[in-house]
Amino acid sequence: MMKNLYEMKGIIFDLDGVIVDTAKYHYLAWRELADRLGFEFTPEHNERLKGVSRDRSLEILLEVGGMAGEFSAAEKHAMATEKNERYVAYIRDLKQDEMLPGSRELLLELRKHGIKIGLGSASKNAPEILDKLGITELFDVIVDGNATQHAKPDPAVFLLGAQAMGIDPADCIVFEDAQAGIEAALAAGMTPIAVGCPTQLTGAEVYVKDLQEVLMCDEKPHLSR
Ligand code: B16
Ligand code: MG
């Protein structure tokens, strides 16, 4: 059965890369850590960190620098904290116009249609980011990296969202910009819509460039279930 986007009961949004462009600040903060450790960390390397938890991101960064296995758990904790302090300093000045095209408008439109809206983000800084953007109130449910230890591609963050919204996972769609997030949505039994292109992301039901594209469609994306 084909369904229109507005016939879905619940829609869960990833944050970084879907609602707001915070990836650039994650990159700057990780790059500063890599600089201090003495190796280059490029935008291409950074692609591997999208949607990935802070701890796992550090492991990937150390792998890139050829330093995997060189540090104790306490040293790694200190490095992750150092990176987060830099990141938090960047997002302190986050502006509302750093929201990605169409995201605020789509959230408002979905609310008009009475569709439940959830946030499903790996970020432990999500509440502060939503607050800076002035959009906390647009979400019925917020599930972030503080809610579970099980990071994407584990489905926990999305399943908790569906449960809190009181909606069957099969009636939820997920907007995601990262492969780990698409896999998490599939594992949750939800329908992923990728924000990005099929050459970089696999397994999604529909691909859009950004949420503006969803908003502009006269015919909202049709889903096969
Ligand atoms: P934090 P998302 C993810 O956000 C980011 O894409 C990823 O780069 C970051 O490492 C992760 O959050 C954890 O963020 O260090 O703030 O807890 O895309 O799941 O909204
Ligand atoms: Mg993301």
Classify strands 172-176 and 10-13 as parallel, antiparallel or unpaired: parallel
Using DSSP, state whether 34 is helix, strand or coil. Answer: helix
Q: What is the number of H-type helices and E-type strands within the chain? A: 9, 8
pLDDT tens string 168-198: 999 999 999 999 999 999 999 999 999 999 9
Query: What does the pLDDT average to over 202-221?
Result: 84
Q: Which ligand is nearest to the CA of 53?
A: 1
16 is an active site residue: yes
Angle at 169 between CA 131 and CA 54, to 5 degrees: 45
Q: Are 21 and 177 in contact (CB under 8 A)?
A: no
CA of 26 to the centre of ligand 1 (A): 8
Among residues 95, 78, 106, the alpha carbon closest in space to that of 221 is found at 106
The residue whose C-alpha atom lies closest to atom 7 belonging to ligand 1 is 51
Q: Which ligand is nearest to the CA of 120?
A: 1
Instruction: From the CA of 49, give the closest atom in ligand 1.
Output: 8
pLDDT tens string 46-100: 999 999 999 999 999 999 999 999 999 999 999 999 999 999 999 999 999 999 9
The dihedral built from the CA positions of residue 157, 9, 223 and 107, taken in this order, carries a sign that is: negative
> Which pLDDT score, from 0 to 100, does residue 172 have?
95
pLDDT tens string 1-47: 345 788 889 999 999 999 999 999 999 999 999 999 999 999 999 99
Pocket (CB within 6 angstroms of ligand 1): 14-17, 26, 49-54, 57, 84, 121-125, 145, 178
> Which pLDDT score, from 0 to 100, does residue 225 have?
53
Query: What does the pLDDT average to over 122-137?
Result: 97
- Which residue reads 């960064």 in tokens? 61
> Which pLDDT score, from 0 to 100, does residue 2 have?
41
Over the chain, what is the mean pLDDT? 93
Among residues 175, 185, 180, the alpha carbon closest in space to that of 206 is found at 175
CA of 54 to the centre of ligand 1 (A): 7
How far CA 176 is from CA of 51, 173, 185, in Å, comes to: 9, 10, 9
Q: Which ligand is nearest to the CA of 61?
A: 1
CA distance 201 to 207: 9
Which residues have CB under 8 Å from 147's CB, separation 6+?
156, 157, 160
The dihedral built from the CA positions of residue 155, 20, 178 and 197, taken in this order, carries a sign that is: positive
Neighbour tally for 63: CB within 10 Å: 13
Tokens describing residue 11: 């829609």
> Which pLDDT score, from 0 to 100, does residue 1 have?
33
Tokens describing residue 182: 């698409």
Kindly name the residue from 14, 171, 177, 210 that is annotated as catalytic.
Answer: 14
55 is an active site residue: no
How far CA 39 is from CA of 59, 65, 72, 150, 208, in Å, comes to: 14, 6, 19, 30, 35
Among residues 135, 107, 115, 118, the alpha carbon closest in space to that of 212 is found at 107
pLDDT tens string 132-152: 999 999 999 999 999 999 999
pLDDT at residue 222 greater than cutoff 70: no
> Which pLDDT score, from 0 to 100, does residue 5 have?
80
Instruction: From the CA of 57, give the closest atom in ligand 1.
Output: 10
